Amino acid sequence: MNDSKGFTLVELLAVIAILAILVIIALPNVMGMFNSAKESTFITELKKLYRGAEEKYVSDAFNTSGTKIYSKCSGCTNELDMQVRDDLEYYIEVDSTGKIVKYYARDNSYQFSYDGEMSINDIDKVEVIGNLDAENIINIADIFKESNAEMATSFIKKIVDGSDDTLIDVIDKGTSEDGSCTYTLAYDLTEDNSLRYVGNNPCNYVRFNDELWRIVGVINNVSNGNGKTEQRIKIVRNDSIGKYSYDSSSEDVNGGFGVGEWSQSKLKNLLNDLYYNSSSGECYVGSKLTKEACDFSNVGLKSKAKNMIEDALWYTGPLPVYFSQMNSNRTLNVDQIYEKEKHGRFIFSGGASTYDNDTVERTTSWVGKVGLISASDWGYSTSGKDSATRKTCIYSVGEYYAPGSAWNSYTGWENNSYCPNNTWYKAFAYDTSSWVITSISSKYQGVSLFQSGSKGTSAYLQKYVYPSVYLKSSVKITSGDGTISNPYILK
């Protein structure tokens, strides 16, 4: 008879407890060895890719010179000719001398980044993704997009590549994928021949200052005021920052109605001080220096946006008030408005009245950062339609009201709705008018947009304000398609 006995329940529980303790003690060491092996494998793969990039550059350089980029990620192109794990992404940049100057890589557990000339021995420190905040985890796709960014000026011009730049006709390059807007542009055929977005809803939306803005176009011969002249992108805020006076004055100057001179106007100061610096203060909202509190801390320009703009020379030459400056029909078309803005001069009547008695020296240009669109920007943005072609709209003239009447009207679109209805600026002027930077030969008036054009308006009145800026020529577009849901992204 076998007298051997098995373990009692207590003994089994004791053994299990001991084994559990041993596992707990050993687990960190086992996991450490496992993680160390994974990290070593990651580094080995990075070195393999490094050598692969060096070798591929040598063969690629025989075909084309310059910087080469090798990358693998969702949306990336130009992978190296070697197999890597599906979860391993990389971006490697080799400069024109064959040196690797940027290297980013990651998988689901580790990442590596190096920005600058490097050697293979610099691949020795990786970061554990689980220990990083989300904003510090590398996104290879974003790096790839930024590396393929194009100068904003050349990006916009490429939309109309191959089109005739000697014609004023609309250049139609189709509709966006979501059908929300059209790629329609046109050259203005002025002495500068700038390329402008036209039509009632072009795909010209851009993300700037964490807001929606719209691209006016590629403007040629933009001076920075210090002798440098370049092609630069001009943009305008999609929404108004509020209603303010163009200017205001004490009662003994133009009856308190303000002064119609941009470079010394209260609105110019507002845009280039409180708005530019995202600060608060007092803004002018009526005649005789009437002010109220205003706060631009939430809508003013942020540092990133300010770094994308610089001084530009803005033409503020005046539209005429007197028949001596008009043509025989006492009218102006859009081209003539542009000519007055750039080359016009101030001419006042001989006698001064209560509302016309300032002694301000007028200027016809201004150098600064934040301005407004001009009256001609509005005119050139039309695409026209049917028999009222763009050419007809640009060269048509409007009824001009003599001095002493209520308004001075400059574009002849009142009787032709196809012209104003096919311009994207209509949102700036249809419900209530907005100020433009263009001046007028009237001592107490500024120029505002309304449904069918521009007109002289007492400077103290409140009109909507849509800031406009010129981007630096170095600004690039990294992504987006210009739609309101996927605007162009700048860097």
Of 98-112, 193-207, 394-408, 415-429, least confident by mean pLDDT is: 394-408
C-alpha closest to that of 154 among 400, 384, 477, 469: 477
pLDDT value for 326: 54
Strands (E), 5-98: 68-72, 89-94
Mean pLDDT of 399-405: 35
Task: Give the pLDDT confidence of 230-239 residue by residue, as tens digits.
Answer: 999 999 999 9
Task: Give the alpha-carbon dihedral of 281, 284, 288, 289, to 10 degrees.
Answer: 20
Give me the residue label for tokens 């005429």. 320
Q: How confident is the model at residue 441 (pLDDT cuts 50, 70, 90)?
A: confident
User: What gap in Å lies between CA 89 and CA 49, rounded to an integer?
Assistant: 11
C-alpha closest to that of 235 among 335, 152, 295: 152
User: What gap in Å lies between CA 390 and CA 421, rounded to an integer?
Assistant: 12
Task: Give the pLDDT confidence of 132-182 residue by residue, as tens digits.
Answer: 888 899 999 888 888 888 899 999 999 999 999 999 999 999 999 999 999
User: What gap in Å lies between CA 399 and CA 378, rounded to an integer?
Assistant: 17
In contact, 313 and 223? CB cutoff 8 Å: yes
Q: Which helix (H) or strand (E) holds 127?
A: strand 127-128
356 vs 282, residue with greater confidence: 282
Q: How confident is the model at residue 410 (pLDDT cuts 50, 70, 90)?
A: very low
pLDDT value for 76: 86
Q: DSSP code of 317?
A: P
Q: DSSP code of 389?
A: E
C-alpha closest to that of 338 among 366, 322, 317: 317
Task: Give the alpha-carbon dihedral of 431, 436, 439, 444, to 10 degrees.
Answer: 50
Neighbours of 415 (CB within 10 A): 10
Mean pLDDT of 371-395: 90
Write the CA distances from 248 to 5, 241, 276, integer angstroms.
107, 19, 21
Task: Report the percentage of the chain scoring pLDDT > 70.
Answer: 87
pLDDT value for 416: 59
What residues contact 301, with CB distance under 8 A and at least 6 apart? 209, 275, 276, 277, 278, 370
The angle formed by the CA atoms of residues 242, 295 and 468, to the nearest 5 degrees, is: 50
Q: Are strands 205-208 and 211-223 parallel, antiparallel or unpaired?
A: antiparallel
**pLDDT, mean over the chain:** 87
Task: Give the pLDDT confidence of 93-109 residue by residue, as tens digits.
Answer: 999 899 999 999 999 99
Residue 35 in this model has a pLDDT that exceeds 70: no
Neighbours of 289 (CB within 10 A): 16
124-133, 140-149, 237-246, 421-430: range with highest mean pLDDT: 237-246
Of 112-116, 146-150, 445-449, 451-455, least confident by mean pLDDT is: 451-455
136 vs 215, residue with greater confidence: 215
Of 6-20, 183-197, 279-293, least confident by mean pLDDT is: 6-20
What residues contact 308, with CB distance under 8 A and at least 6 apart? 208, 471, 472, 475, 490
Please report the DSSP string for 137-182 in residue order.
S--HHHHHHHHT-EEHHHHHHHTTTTS-TT--S-EEEEE-TTSS-E
pLDDT value for 57: 93
Q: Is the torsion defined by CA of 126, 84, 90, 95 positive or negative?
A: positive
pLDDT value for 403: 36
Please report the DSSP string for 183-228 in residue order.
EEEEE--SSS--EEE-BSSBS-EEEETTEEEEEEEEEEEEE-SSS-
pLDDT value for 386: 84
Q: How confident is the model at residue 190 (pLDDT cuts 50, 70, 90)?
A: very high
Mean pLDDT of 423-438: 83
pLDDT value for 440: 87
Residue 399 in this model has a pLDDT that exceeds 60: no
Mean pLDDT of 53-63: 90
pLDDT value for 419: 83
Reduce the DSSP state of residue 100 to 3 states and report it: strand
Task: Report the percentage of the chain scoring pLDDT > 90.
Answer: 59
pLDDT value for 430: 67
User: What gap in Å lies between CA 91 and CA 106, rounded to an integer?
Assistant: 9
**Buried/exposed 162-197: b ≥16 CB within 10 Å, e otherwise:** ebeeeebebbbeeebeeebbbbbbbbbbbeeebbbb
pLDDT value for 33: 53
Q: Where are the domains of the chain?
A: 9-148, 154-490
Residue 30 in this model has a pLDDT that exceeds 70: no
pLDDT value for 322: 60
Count the helix, strand and coil residues of the chain and give each as a percent rounded to the nearest 5.
Answer: 25, 25, 45
Task: Give the pLDDT confidence of 319-353 residue by residue, as tens digits.
Answer: 887 655 555 445 678 888 899 999 988 887 655 56
- Which residue type, as a one-letter code, is found at position 332? L
Please report the DSSP string for 412-446 in residue order.
--TT-THHHHTBTTHHHHSSS-EE-S-EESSTTEE
pLDDT value for 247: 97
